[in-house]
Structure 1
């Protein structure tokens, strides 16, 4: 790929194209990359109520406008908001049977504590506690009662679409969850989908339980996404390997996504971060992604998005599965500017969204937007529009407010007092001046407006391991080796070429509040398709 192959091999590789699609709330972006990961063509279409329509239209335009033969497309990657929307809107979720393996130790707090009535209704009434569980070091709290698990399964028979199993400290020892899974499939049938909490979340029981139930509830949603994506590609004669974007900036095979749909949550901002790294050539920077409604700011660390270390609320539910560390503010191309707000000019946080070209002042509408301000101040040129009637002093005041919002957000995401490189991506990047306080350099790379779709198409696949080890029982070097091997195995299972898998990060945290010289080890590995 770098010119070291013979001509015949190079010619064959030139035709190994890949499509990256990122479905956002306002637009669906798509990019076509060649075998050297160069952007050949990009398109942007409006996201509709049926998001598959936007995907079909994006693929149609990519093929038509680029002239690339559908037979030469080998890979297709999709970043989607389907699962996020399903949780937020409480729609299309499956009915879930939950069994917490932790009695008598965990009975003080019932399952689904803190869930609102609408989400409880969507999930269904089948949440139970059963005996079992482990200590932090893998010692049993209580034995698993097979007859008890089987009885609970019979109570939920015919009334659930999936089962979630959550054991105390299951990420340390998965044996009881696996045994319970075997019983579930014996009673409810071999095709009953089962989500194991040890494969989803971190150590904390309640947050991991919540994440596992949500994952089980999303299994039908992701199945519809994959079927729709396959149908869209098949309709154009594209026979490609399908990948779905994860929220750590990497990919997973569609088969893997069918088991872990919750890992797609918040993949949009991470696609933009990965795309920004690829387009700019930087591996450590702040990424500012400005869309039509919001600005998402993330941190690029060694080429990947920084992960959040705190528990994350998802649709009002507290979870602890991995999520990107993203700060969102209400500033985008369609953000509404009010010149006569209380105390002067106010900016947002509301937006006209996809109605920008109808409601914006430069388009003949009656609403002053951030895009109007950028055009008036000469930062952007929009053919066929007129900004002469806009009040320049009001626009300059609004620009100062927007600049302050960005500078404060950048300062909140920095980990040191010094200036940092800032990569600008997204169509709303026209709002940003040439200099910002706290930014050493402001880089706006080629194809910045399609960074999310390009990030979706980049071909690395990751795996993670998170486990507590007792150094009374393990040597430190053996602990790190075991954790690395587990992460590499997970990456290979998700679709990475085992020969290319490398360790991306290793983090070990002594847990002073636990006996036995306990150590929490987190490892991430990634490799090429």
Structure 2
């Protein structure tokens, strides 16, 4: 049986076929199309033809996509969202959508209501929850919103009111209206959790189109029996049903795919990875086999959120980065020719000097027609190459946890532009299949489930709380598509809340299992 992995980047769409021993059978790299789906179909068709395998023997198909990220950044294809915050009047001083970019608020409708409900930090009632009030709000939005986001004060501690609102929404607006509950998406911190929930609600149409398009592409190529998964941003997979419920979890899945794929190729579980694409370079760390998560609030499209995100440093440096002279200085990026590199770079017959042209001019790479790069002055090329090295060194230093030199796994289609010697780097590991590490990462991933809640140990003993959180994390992994008997807990995080008088603790558990 075979696995097909596809990763859609801003410049290229990569596809691979792995056999049951996780050995690479075939790989292709095609330009990402403007409509995404065409590029996926083209990559899928080419990799299957190259692999020469029977379609019925494809058992799993995985997709890593930037669609949700792009929708937020470009403000396109987002759903109209209605936000219900449970916590009036206590939270009226800071309203929903505070500090959001105006154009994004407009795209999401900007509709919100503050309703009674919510809890104190000790679990006590903030104000009386009113079903009548919720029904009136939902009825006033009928036909005006396409998704609902529900946010309760301290729902990380008690979330029954959020779930009751979801039930009422199904009764008033119909079962097909998606409802995002903040307690299932973000962490503690009302505003950041609310922001993540609103974005999740706004992305459901994007995910519906993306997942349906992937399924249609598979069917068009005669793949009818494969289990279909999408990539999460923690380096694991989720079923299509789970992805449609939590589309925000696909944001930043591209870098995590590359980190997992790079580590697999290098045979390592703890390593720093540099993934160089056509437009950007991403630097991340694999710790214990999974990408290191960020401990800080993360900005997504100009919105501050606190849902799970990988710890990644991204810089505007890639194979297609445009190189210019600025007085006595030379600049590289951040703008790029992107997927048009085979048309616009000098070595491919174009008229734009790119980072790839610089590497070719200095003899560090051989792509396209090297003679066409000879028009670049040597001193200009050397300054540009030095700039590329400096940008890379600074980014790597930001991810290091000590001052010592480190080993780096270098992958990505644009990795040919990176010098072999970098300050602060002891060894650079390259692999012949590194150009498609992202698609390999998508193919080898497991299924995960994560559960987070605030427990008050004086009310629920620690062991009982741990068992409760573990069982819910296992259920999430199962819902995401993991085989129950293979699910194992891989991470337990306990953070005491110092301001709470009754020994309250934020407990987060992550469980991982194998594919169906």
TM superposition score normalised by structure 1: 0.94
> How many angstroms apart in 2 are the aligned matches of 1:478 and 1:283?
32
1:381 aligns with 2:377: no
Aligned-partner SS, 2:414: helix
Paired residues of 1:96 and 1:124 also in contact (CA < 8 A): yes
Q: Which of 344, 349, 364 pairs up with 1:359?
A: 344
SS of 1:92's partner is coil
RMSD: 1.6
Which of these residues, 365, 374, 396, is aligned with residue 410 of structure 1? 396
**1:32-71 pair list within 5 angstroms:** 32-71=17-56
Correspondence for 2:486 among 472, 484, 500: 500
Of 278, 288, 293, 1:307 maps to 293
Aligned to 2:67: 82
Q: C-alpha deviations, 1:252-277, integer Å up to 9, x for none?
A: 00011111111111111111111112
Aligned match of 2:256 in 256, 270, 273?
Answer: 270
1:326 to 295, 307, 312: 312
Aligned ranges 1:84-483 → 2 under 5 Å: 84-239=69-224, 240-338=226-324, 340-382=325-367, 384-386=369-371, 387-483=373-469
Q: Per the alignment, in what secondary structure is the counterpart of residue 103 of structure 1?
A: coil
Segments of 5+ residues of structure 1 without an aligned counterpart are: 1-15
Render the CA deviation track for 1:2-36: whole Å, top value 9, x for unaligned.
Answer: xxxxxxxxxxxxxx111111111111111111111
Q: Is the 8 A contact 1:308 1:323 kept in 2?
A: yes
1:388, distance to aligned residue in structure 2 (A): 3.6
Q: Retained in 2: the 8 A contact 1:496–1:527?
A: yes
**Separation (CA, whole Å) in 2 of partners of 1:107 and 1:495:** 40
CA distance in 2, matches of 1:151, 1:364: 63
Q: CA deviation at 1:44?
A: 0.9
Deviation at 1:383, TM superposition (A): 5.0
Q: Indicate the residue corresponding to 2:6 in structure 1.
A: 21
- Cα distance in 2 between the residues matched to 1:440 and 1:509: 35
Deviation at 1:107, TM superposition (A): 1.4
Question: Which consecutive unaligned segments of at least 5 residues does structure 2 have?
Answer: none
Q: For the Cα contact (< 8 Å) 1:137–1:469, is it kept in 2? A: no
**Which moved further from structure 2: 46-55 or 115-124?**
115-124
Count of equivalent residues = 513
Counterpart contact for 1:99–1:128, Cα < 8 Å: yes
Change (3 A) 1:477 1:35: same
Write the distance in 2 (CA, Å) between the matches of 1:369 and 1:182.
55
Q: Counterparts of 1:373 and 1:48 in 2: how far apart (Å)?
A: 26
**In the TM superposition, what is the alpha-carbon distance from 1:98 to its structure 2 partner?**
1.2
Give the TM-score normalised by the residue count of structure 2: 0.96
